[in-house]
Structures are given as C-alpha cells and as structure tokens.
Amino acid sequence: MEPIVLHNKAHMAGMEAGYAIRPRAMVVSGGGQDWIVNEGLCGFAWVNFKGNTAFGRALMKRGICRKGYPSGLTLWIGQFNQSWERKKAYAQAYAKVLNENGVEATWGERLD
C-alpha cells in the first residue's frame, strides 16, 4: 500500500476511534468556583515507527511526523484538543492499522 494511502487509512481509523470514546468529564475547582471539562483529563499521545522505511520517509518528507527519541520517527496526535482519552484511542487505532499493514509501530501516552 502506498505510504500516504496507508497514513490516510490509519488517520481515519484514529479519528473514528477518538470520536467513539466518551471521555469521563472532570471538575476543576479553584477560587470558590468549579468548572466542568467535558473532554476529560488533559494529555498527549503519539505513534512511533522506524524512519528508514518508505512509509517513514514519505511522512517525514510531507512534514506529517518528526524525528523521535531516541530513534525513529514520531507522529504526535494533534486532534481532539487536550483530551487524553480521545488522543490515546486515536494513537492505538493508528498504530494498529500500521502493524496490520506491515509497518511496525508502537504508541504512547501521558497525562499532562
């Protein structure tokens, strides 16, 4: 599969997974007030894959990903504002599509 076609397929799977999640709302309190954050906890998620592959080179060339640490490439999930749960679901789905199509990928996440 062409690298950009694969990226688009993985992106669509990620978007579907992210929108399918119903984050648990959180309440932020301070100064005698409470705010409800419907999108839940804030955080980050990403997908890592090798850079010395046709897929990695194609995404890097188009600015879709960037150099990872300590090696390879990283696709940071920018969708879904700060919603950790939605970003995590996207990353899992994206990595799954890559792995199913012969591109070794892992995903990661962290709370902010």
Q: What is the pLDDT along the chain (112 residues), one digit of tens a residue?
A: 899 999 999 999 999 999 999 999 999 999 999 999 999 999 999 999 999 999 999 999 999 999 998 889 999 999 999 999 999 999 999 999 999 999 999 999 999 8
Q: What is the pLDDT of residue 70?
A: 82
| 3-class secondary-structure state, position 49 | strand
Nearest to 59 by CA among 80, 44, 74: 74
Q: What is the pLDDT of residue 48?
A: 97
| 3-class secondary-structure state, position 111 | strand
Q: How far apart are CA 90 and CA 92, in angstroms?
A: 6
To the question of pTM greater than 0.85 for the whole model, the response is yes
Q: What is the pLDDT of residue 69?
A: 83
